[in-house]
Amino acid sequence: MRKILVLEGDGIGPEIVGASIQVLEAVSATFGLDLHFEFDDVGFASLEKYGTTLREELLQRSKTYDGIILGTQSHMDYPPVSEGGRNISLGFRIGLDLYANIRPARTRRALLKPGQKEMDLIIVREATEGFYPDRNMYLGGPSEMMPTPDMALSIRKITKQGSERIARKAFELAMQRRKRVTAIHKVNSFKLTDGLFLDQVAEVAKEFPEVEVDDQLVDSMTAHLVRNPGRFDVVVATNFYGDILSDLASELSGSIGLAGSMMASQTHCCAQAQHGSAPDIAGTDRANPSSMILSSAMLLDWMGHHLDDESLINASRLIEEAIDETLADPAKRTWDLGGTTGCVEFGRLVAEACTVRT
């Protein structure tokens, strides 16, 4: 039995997670995966019950599961941390050391628009340090401060360890793909921090002589993604750069609603849709669950490699194929893609495609 912790979250979270569970149950039956789902509360549901959006007990217990599915969160609407409004994603990234945020961006032929450039890349984003002030201090609070009312300062943290391990993850992925890594930086301005990052990329590259390596300034990278995204394979970046570029790449590939995402360490993995909680459409059955479904497929793939189980990897591939097959029919597309299919029905259609194929 493989145990998966399911945390539905806020906004459209329960809807897209529910559709994903339908699909996972289908592939579990098809491949005999024996997936077992255990549900618990985070976000506003947890705040109401327990006085906090993320209980420390739940975070520690999550380490005992084979995988985690985390729904969307409305963290910008949470109360201050002192009043229980804990950032859930941050809690998991730091608490489980989920340093690698893996975000694929791939065009789907059925959805290609005139003039749209084809692409198939993965952005490998470091997720535990960088410009984010809530990840930069062991003691003393966030690394943003206001010495005077009209001045705000922020500290950026880049470490040798953090840079080395995210670079290694990128090169390992590149060996499974087209064997090319592009490192993103702004070393002409951030000579020390981005310089340290690039030094570690270069060191790790020596261990992967088959992989072609280049680098791009983060600002010029935005232009290259628009002009010729097909040239990129695996893109490795520090936290802030990777966060911005992955949203751009996902939208260029078709829609951020089609963008899978996972957070992983060597021992734990959490599937999380790349987009937000969309409270304006919550409860209307208009959400596109594709991102959450694809993120769940990524979780199965990670579990398959971690547990050395080919059936989990094959189940992940089948989900990808089922999404493509479903989207190929305009009548089955969700509202954001020009169709009228609801979230629940889309999940059922993808699950059906996973059931009838072996």
What positions carry a catalytic annotation?
A: 138, 186, 219, 243, 247
Residues in the chain: 358
306, 269 in Cβ contact below 8 A?
yes
Residue 183: alpha-carbon gap to chain centroid? 19
End-to-end, the C-alpha distance of the chain in Å comes to 21
User: Can you give 128-192 as a three-state secondary structure string?
Assistant: CCECCHHHCCCCCCCCEEEEECCEEEECCECCHHHHHHHHHHHHHHHHCCCCEEEEEECCCCCCC
**Under 8 Å between Cβ of 196 and 158:** yes
Q: What is the dihedral of CA 226, 231, 235, 239, to 10 degrees?
A: -10
CA distances from 78 to 47, 142, 261, 278 (A): 9, 17, 23, 15
Burial class (CB in 10 A: 0-12, 13-18, 19+), 149: exposed
Tokens of 307: 């547990």
Q: Whose structure tokens read 């189980």?
A: 309
- Alpha helix positions (H), the chain: 13-31, 44-50, 56-61, 88-95, 160-175, 193-205, 218-227, 239-253, 290-307, 310-327, 343-355
Residue pointed to by tokens 């791939």: 106
Amino acid at 356: V
Taking the C-alpha atoms of residue 271 and residue 70, their distance in angstroms, rounded to an integer, is 6
Secondary structure element (H or E) that encloses residue 4, with its range: strand 2-7
